[in-house]
Amino acid sequence: MKKSIIALIGLFTLVACSEDSYQDADLMNENTNETSSNPQNSVYTNTPAVGYESPFDINNIIDVPVKFINNTANYQIGYRVQVGPAYYDGNINGVIDYSPAAGGGPVLDITNAPNLLYGGNEFNPALFVQYILPISSGTSVTHNFSSFTASSPLNALEVNFLQKYGKIYSVYNYIYHNSNVGSPVKTMFLKGDAPIPFTSPTSIPPAMTAEGYDIVPGIQTYNPATNSLMGIVSFHKNSREVVYPPLTNFESEYFFTTTYGDNLHLYFKSYIDHVEIVLEDI
């Protein structure tokens, strides 16, 4: 586990420096009085058992659409999207073996995927960065995973892998008031959606265990908001999809008030055929 943690820290440092994607992190939570609710996104879920649907299934690979939705009257929002491997192959051994995937997936090792498997760690989420330009009030855009582009230093094989077998690990959001689009009034991290009962960073609740979830051994969740590793990573035994628990300042739903006095709701929601990142007035 120590080796995995060191590798993940090193990789995140590499990506953060090359992209400078978190230079505004110090603006987080500044003058906004944000709160998060647990269980996460319970008002939106329609899956009775653990409140979670997902398009990520190693047995049914699709080109996942990602919908960026701005349902506000006075704000624009831009995004930096981080993508990492979507599935746990059942063995932490420095090799990514997705051969059981529908249609036969790739097998990657340190020789052909040196950046994806940096330090021998096969599960690096802070790797693939796509910037989505700010979208205007009352509009939305949709990007499929296959259209995402990668940040250096990924090679073509690694880019193609993440376009097909990746999922969103986190989104760094830049929120601008329409009266001043040159300076964000809010910047914040938003983690990918996860089952509602997954509220502890250290254990999987019985409701998830009963639905087929287990722990990925020896791997911790990286929290970009606090620049730290903590907690666990879970996966579903059938779909093999990995999910992350909420951590400090790194959850999948927030309610907050801006310096302009507007109450906003930002959330990440996963559905059976797509995922959404939504900003809305409340």
The structural domains of the chain, with segments of one domain joined by +, span 2-281
Q: Report the chain's mean pLDDT, rounded to a whole number.
A: 82
Q: How many CB atoms lie within 10 A of CB 216?
A: 18
Residue with tokens 């990789």: 11
Return the pLDDT at 128.
63
Nearest-angstrom CA–CA distance, 103 and 62: 11
More confident residue, 4 or 132: 132
User: Which has the closest alpha carbon to 75: 173, 178, 184?
Assistant: 178
**CA angle 269–37–125, rounded 5-degree value:** 50
* Separation of alpha carbons 233 and 216, rounded Å: 6
Q: What is the pTM of this model?
A: 0.83
Cα separations in angstroms, 56 against 41, 64, 87, 164: 19, 8, 8, 10
pLDDT reported for residue 193: 93
Comparing 99 with 126, the larger pLDDT belongs to 99
The pLDDT of residue 22 is above 70:
no
Higher pLDDT, 239 or 11: 239
Q: Say yes or no to pLDDT of 278 above 60.
A: yes
